[in-house]
Amino acid sequence: MANPRVLVVDDDSGIRRYLATLLPSLGYEMVEASSGEQALEQLRARSAPAIVLLDLLMPGMSGLEVLDRLRHDHAQIPVVVLSTEAQRRTVVEAVRRGASNYLTKPFEDGELESALQRALDEPVPAAEARVLKARVDEGENGLVSSNPRMLQIKEVARRVADTDAPVLLLGESGVGKEVVARYVHRQSQRAGQPFVKVNCAALPEDLLESELFGYERGAFSGALREKPGLFELADKGSILLDEIGEMTPHLQAKLLHVLQDGEFTRLGGRQPVRVDARVMAATNVCLEDAVASGRFREDLYFRLNVIRLDIPPLRERRDDIGMLCAFFLRRYAARYRTTLRELPSEVREAFLRSDWPGNVRELENAVRRYVILPDVDLALSSLKRRPAPEPEARPQTSRSEDLSLREAGAQAAEEAERLMVRRALAETRWNRKEAAGLLRISYKALLNKLKKWDLGGEEAAGPARYADRAAALSAPHLAQGLAVGAVSR
């Protein structure tokens, strides 16, 4: 029996070359078209393919136009559309117009194989199209929570979405920092533009630099052509720097330049590249401790810490567990085509009692496992034999969720001033007059601040306590930072 034929319609020659290798290995024959017009010409000239793999964004005839023609003239051919994160609204429209399924670039080999197999096994009727649309809409809506703290975070995220201020997302691994970042992006006027995510801990320094900022041809051995960086790809959109606490000092300095001036230079390049990308950063590291130990630049911390959102762990918002279980159950029941509609009472109660050290990510995996293997004993035993979590550096919690944006900004500025005053005193061995000169403020102003913060009693312990931190801050940085803090209030 001949292998099923897949018509790949994509103007990106790199994608076509990649699929020309992958599809035969999965048991498919591939034919290709670089435009919508060429695809329709092929359909007129030869027998119909088993599946069409259709890119939505192409010059000339768009993917949606091609889809309309296919649904009119070749309604029996299932169509799997290819999109990017920035095209979610277009994906919703494609599903409405009859697409069988969709894949988001970049996709895993297994995701493609699964989508093609489903399209062959059961062409998607209108009812399933509505399910797919619901899955897309769920992703659009983002945050799933009824917890007051999370609702406050959601409200702050919505209010700051249309600004260009950096957002710093803090919380344990798995609490949903990326979900909040995507919510900010989708609530903003940048929603139709790219959302780019990069894990700063997943790549070595030299590779991460080339990924973030790109390189010119000949910049290093193997650089046979120029490559734009992720910041360029995120232009007019948003970029999430995940695990920012693991970024090396060299890249921290380059990132600071981007935040200050909105431009950077590619590796091997001479001309600056200007970008307009909304920067969001996420970490489970306590950045205040990282700054104090010299592992993270203080000036970069202040640049990022404009809008700070502390995401609480799941054990502190147990009222969300039931809602999240229902959400993940709907998602994976639709994906794996099961009739499962609710968890058994003993499984649900065990999930509600669990502390979930892996937070929302662990809960999602537990629900997904049960959908695939609906075994009550297995679900309960997996909770019992779960290894104890390793101690994790948790970010210091703040009261930002109880404050207005103005109050939160004033609190952050005052905290920054207090830290810089302490460091200036440590650098001058608690000589107040020298410290005032270093900070470029009057001696009386310094005394008033010490009285307000009740720092006078720390004089004896001050040199020993803060001497190891003093070298990290130069006099110009102290003066500039204190001035910025004063203005912000």
pLDDT in tens, 175-189: 999 999 999 998 898
* 5-140: CATH topology: Rossmann fold (3.40.50)
Specify the range with the lowest mean pLDDT, choosing from 100-109, 237-246, 266-275.
100-109
In the predicted structure, residue 303 carries a pLDDT above the cut 60: yes
265: β partners = 272
Please state, in angstroms and rounded to a whole number, the distance separating the CA atoms of residues 443 and 449: 10
In terms of DSSP bridges, do strands 5-9 and 167-170 run parallel, antiparallel, or are they unpaired?
A: unpaired
In the predicted structure, residue 441 carries a pLDDT above the cut 60: yes
428 pLDDT band, cuts 50/70/90, is confident
Mean pLDDT of the 225-246 span? 91
In the predicted structure, residue 403 carries a pLDDT above the cut 60: no
In the predicted structure, residue 92 carries a pLDDT above the cut 80: no
Please state, in angstroms and rounded to a whole number, the distance separating the CA atoms of residues 281 and 297: 14
Look at residue 5 and give its three-state secondary structure: strand
| Residues 469, 292 contacting (CB under 8 angstroms) | yes
- Closest C-alpha to 277, from 227, 241, 226, 243: 241
Q: Please tell me the predicted confidence (pLDDT) of residue 83.
A: 81
Residue 83 belongs to what H/E stretch?
Answer: strand 79-83
Q: Please tell me the predicted confidence (pLDDT) of residue 468.
A: 40
What ranges do the domains of the chain cover? 5-140, 148-310, 314-384, 404-488
| DSSP states along 245-302 | GG--HHHHHHHHHHHHHSEEE-BT--SEEE---EEEEEESS-HHHHHHTTSS-HHHHH
**pTM score, two decimals?**
0.54
146 pLDDT band, cuts 50/70/90, is confident
Query: Per the structure block, which two tokens stand in for 368?
Result: 């997904």
Q: Please tell me the predicted confidence (pLDDT) of residue 479.
A: 42
In the predicted structure, residue 407 carries a pLDDT above the cut 80: no
In the predicted structure, residue 323 carries a pLDDT above the cut 80: yes
CATH code assigned to 314-384: 1.10.8.60
When computed from its CA atoms, the radius of gyration of the chain, rounded to whole angstroms, is: 27
- Closest C-alpha to 415, from 288, 293, 259: 288
Please state, in angstroms and rounded to a whole number, the distance separating the CA atoms of residues 464 and 128: 67
CATH code assigned to 148-310: 3.40.50.300
Query: What percentage of the chain has pLDDT greater than the value 90?
Result: 36
The pLDDT tens digits for 257-293 are: 999 888 888 888 888 889 999 999 999 999 999 999 9
Contacts of 178 (CB under 8 A, 6+ apart): 197, 240, 242, 282
Please state, in angstroms and rounded to a whole number, the distance separating the CA atoms of residues 264 and 275: 8
237 pLDDT band, cuts 50/70/90, is very high
- Closest C-alpha to 40, from 19, 71, 15: 71
Residue 81 belongs to what H/E stretch?
Answer: strand 79-83
In the predicted structure, residue 480 carries a pLDDT above the cut 50: no
Query: Per the structure block, which two tokens stand in for 318?
Result: 């147990």
Same topology, domains 5-140 and 314-384? Answer is no
In the predicted structure, residue 396 carries a pLDDT above the cut 80: no
Please state, in angstroms and rounded to a whole number, the distance separating the CA atoms of residues 369 and 351: 13
In terms of DSSP bridges, do strands 195-199 and 238-242 run parallel, antiparallel, or are they unpaired?
A: parallel
Q: Please tell me the predicted confidence (pLDDT) of residue 453.
A: 73
Average pLDDT over the chain reads: 80
**18 burial via Cβ count (<10 Å: 0-12, 13-18, 19+):** middle
Please state, in angstroms and rounded to a whole number, the distance separating the CA atoms of residues 364 and 431: 55
Q: Please tell me the predicted confidence (pLDDT) of residue 113.
A: 87
134 pLDDT band, cuts 50/70/90, is very low
Q: Please tell me the predicted confidence (pLDDT) of residue 118.
A: 80
Q: Please tell me the predicted confidence (pLDDT) of residue 246.
A: 92
For residues 328 and 438, the model is more confident at: 328
Contacts of 325 (CB under 8 A, 6+ apart): 343, 348, 351, 363, 367
Scored b (16 or more CB within 10 A) or e, 120-132 reads eeeebeeebbeeb
